[in-house]
Structure 1
Amino acid sequence: MTLERREGTVIGGWTVAIARAMDHYGLDTEAIFKACRINLSQALDSNARFPVVPISQVLQAAADASGDANFGLMVAKYIRPTSWHALGISIWASACMKESFERLVRYQRMFNTAIEIQMVQGDSSTEVSMRFKDAYAPVLGDIDMDAIMATALLTCRHVAEGQFRPLGVTLCRPSPVNPEGFERLFRCPVEFASDSNRILMKNDDLERPLPTRNAELAMLNDRLIQEYLTRLDRHDIVNQVYLKLMETLGNGIPDQQQVARSLHLSQRNMQRKLQLAGTSYQEILDQLRQELAPQYLQQSHLSINEISYRLGFSRVGSFTRAFKRWSGHSPNQYRDTISSSRESEH
């Protein structure tokens, strides 16, 4: 399993669905992926995983290029059972929708390591909530959650052969320009600007036997999921360090010993584990800075000094030299390019 970036990752089938949605609009799919540093051909590998931040950039670029602010909803329409590898088959082969969601919660890391999914059952209804982990919330957008929530709901509708209608859906995102698109897809009341992303469902609907149920097939694929997660866990130390750095950047220069201590490791032991994973603390830090810098620079209210501090550089000059090495431009030149591009669109 190849990880191109040392960060949260999403399953390769997600990338394929995004590409097919882009093809639907006649976009230059390969060029957009390439501009976001994603090699689309790798998605053909059933074990491929892709970094969540560049994939989020692909989604936003596709929304801009297609003119469809609700592009995330279109992605959900191209998800198939095999898009989730063995998890998709297990979900479809579950005895009931409640069991499907229990598998999604239990094995959520297989789908996306940057998200947290919870299920809470009440007397007559159950809610499934989804949120991005705190470290990823600032760098993943509404369009990412649109696609994930829509995928969960459409999967329910498919496995129930169209006989599924939730009680309601709430989304943290502000109301879109075209809220009717959400209401058509979800087929229930949709509340925007909520405090959480939730799907509320009747317990009776969740416990109704599924026409696609197959206990033997579900068990076989559960074993495949466990094998997959074992391979994924070999990279877990890398993702833990990346996540911890995202949490601590902005509080001064990252301290390697402090990061190791927070992971209950000695600095030497952490270095050894990272070396076995084929990377180093400095490499992870550099990749994180390289990915966050352009996103911060697009926020015009942040000064170069503030961005430098948020990225953990001791001097603005150090940040400027690093950014020029990454992009070929100084931070100010990059901002001027963005500004000119936006002005040309209006």
Structure 2
Amino acid sequence: MLYEPTTLASLACLLSTALREEYGIDPAPIFAQAGIPLGAPDSPQQRYPLSKLRVLWDLSREASGDEAIGLKTGTYAKPAQFYAFGYSWMASSTLLGALQRLIRYYKLLSTASVQVTLTENADNYALSAVFPEASKSPPKEGIDCGMTALLALCDSIAEKEIRPLRVELTCPATVHPDAYRQALRAPITFGVEVGTFYFDKKTLLEPLQHGAPDIAKVTDRIADQYIESLDPHKVASQVRRLLIALLPSGKTDQELVSKRLNRSASTLQRQLHAEGLSYRDVLESTRRSLAEDYLRDQKHSQAQIAYLLGFSDQSNFSRAFKRWTAMSPKQFQEQPRQN
């Protein structure tokens, strides 16, 4: 059975709101034609196949006659609509911490093929997204919606309008450029290879008034468990569970893990590739998730954390953590104290 990417159902609710509020269109027949129930999801965890969301976006664009419908839809986003990720977002101590959670929990929002990274530069942070597989990537309208939803979510916890320094988009300038400039509140360069938002460092590091590290710790755990539950039988989940047990020993090579899972290294790599991952991807994400938890707990020294994660020394751990989060372990650990 081929893997079908899914999206959190609340994203479809944003579109129904936009159809009513922006265009005065009854969304019921559009949702019925797309095969998606209208109204609040039966559960905050409910998901819809990406293929149905594509149909829904196509029908909504045709009904509205607006190529920029995705940009307008994202402005209706509110954190509480996005299950555990939304509550972790609201409890973040800084916007930088919130963006780090976006990267960590993106699969809670959508399992579409997207690689999101956050890079620290001299005077800014760069949030980039790459879509490696077109067939498993969100449609253009979904990407547009995600960009304006990101700004709406930032506004909600900063309690002010957040403006990027600049934005780079992969689409050509011939696609309603004025709508993009107005919606994204920044100078835009079109036709680049990688879409990127550049944010001022001071803005992202400013303490947020309602940051709540204790609450974030709880909701982070719920988000982690939910992502794992999306398919506990996936090979990546099996590898992750085994790595958690093996990391303190430092024995995390692919050959050993493959043997423990009763398959060859080449078979394991092929199975992970079918899930859109590599062995290194799973190892890195497992280490990162555990590292953030250990640092928030503040029960272990950085040297102890390096050992628990299977690093040969603290400096290797520090370099890896800086690569994952664009922050040093010390900077990450000090974020909650700023409140």
The whole-number CA distance in structure 1 between the counterparts of 2:32 and 2:211 is 40
One of 90, 98, 101 as aligned partner of 1:92: 90
Give the equivalent residue in structure 2 for 1:298: none
- Give the secondary structure class of the aligned counterpart of 1:118: strand
* Aligned partner of residue 136 in structure 1, secondary structure: helix
Relative to structure 1, is the Cα distance of residues 33 and 236 closer, same or farther in structure 2, using a 3 angstrom cutoff?
A: farther
Residue 181, structure 1, aligned to residue 179, structure 2: yes
Task: Report the alpha carbon displacement of residue 100 of structure 1 after superposing the two structures with TM.
Answer: 0.5
Q: Distance in 1 between matches of 2:36 and 2:47?
A: 11
Worse overlay, 127-136 or 230-239: 230-239
Consecutive unaligned residues of structure 1, counting only runs of 5 or more, are 240-257, 266-346
User: CA, structure 1 residues 60+68, in 2 after alignment: closer, same or farther (shift >3 Å)?
Assistant: same
Aligned: 1:263 with 2:260: no
Per the normalisation by structure 1, the TM-score is 0.64
TM-score (norm 2): 0.65
User: Secondary structure at 2:135's aligned position in 1?
Assistant: coil
- Deviation, structure 1 residue 126: 0.9
Confirm or deny: 8 A CA contact 1:77 1:151 kept in the other structure.
yes
Matches within 5 A, 1:224-303: 224-234=222-232, 236=234, 262-263=270-271
- The 1-side partners of 2:225 and 2:32 are apart by 31
RMSD value, Cα: 2.6
Residues 13, 39 of structure 2: 8 Å contact kept:
no
Distance 1:177 1:117, change over 3 A: closer
Residues 175, 43 of structure 1: CA spacing in aligned structure 2 closer, same or farther, 3 A cutoff? Answer: farther
CA distance in 1, matches of 2:236, 2:100: 27
Distance 1:22 1:229, change over 3 A: same
- Cα offset for 1:108? 1.1
Alpha-carbon distance in 1 for matches of 2:121, 2:213 = 26
Q: Distance in 2 between matches of 1:108 and 1:16?
A: 18
Instruction: Look up the equivalent residue of 2:128 and give its one-letter code.
Output: S
Question: How many residue pairs were aligned?
Answer: 242
Report if the CA contact (8 A) 1:142-1:173 is conserved. no
Structure 1 contact 6–238 (Cα < 8 Å) conserved: no
1:127 maps to 2:126 = yes
Distance 1:224 1:169 in 2: 32
Offset of residue 177 of structure 1: 5.0
Pairing 1:190-201 to 2, within 5 Å after superposition: 190-201=188-199
Q: Deviations over 1:247-295 (max 9, x none)?
A: xxxxxxxxxxx99882179xxxxxxxxxxxxxxxxxxxxxxxxxxxxxx
Q: Write out aligned runs for 1:1-16 (5 A).
A: 6-16=3-13
Cα distance in 2 for residues equivalent to 1:35 and 1:6: 23
C-alpha contact 2:155 2:161 (8 A) present in aligned 1: yes
Describe the SS at the equivalent of 2:230. Answer: helix
Match of 1:47 in 2: 45
> Aligned in 2, Cα 1:206/1:261: closer, same or farther, shift over 3 Å?
closer
Q: Secondary structure at the match of 2:191?
A: coil
Structure 2 stretches of 5 or more lacking a match?
238-265, 274-339
Is contact 1:128-1:198 (8 Å) kept? yes
> Structure 1 CA distance, aligned partners of 2:11 and 2:152?
14
Q: Tell me the residue number matched to 1:274.
A: none
Which letter maps to 1:14?
A: L
Q: How much does 1:153 deviate?
A: 2.1
Any idea what the Cα deviations from partners look like across 1:37-79, whole Å, max 9, x if unmatched? 2233572421101111220221122112111111001111111
Following superposition of structure 1 onto structure 2, how do residues 23-62 of structure 1 map, counting pairs within 5 Å? Answer: 23-24=20-21, 25-40=23-38, 43-62=41-60
Distance 1:46 1:68 in 2: 29
In 2, the alpha carbon distance for the partners of 1:238 and 1:42 equals: 31
CA displacement at 1:15 relative to structure 2: 1.2
* One-letter amino acid of the counterpart of residue 124, structure 2: S
Q: Which amino acid aligns with 1:8?
A: P
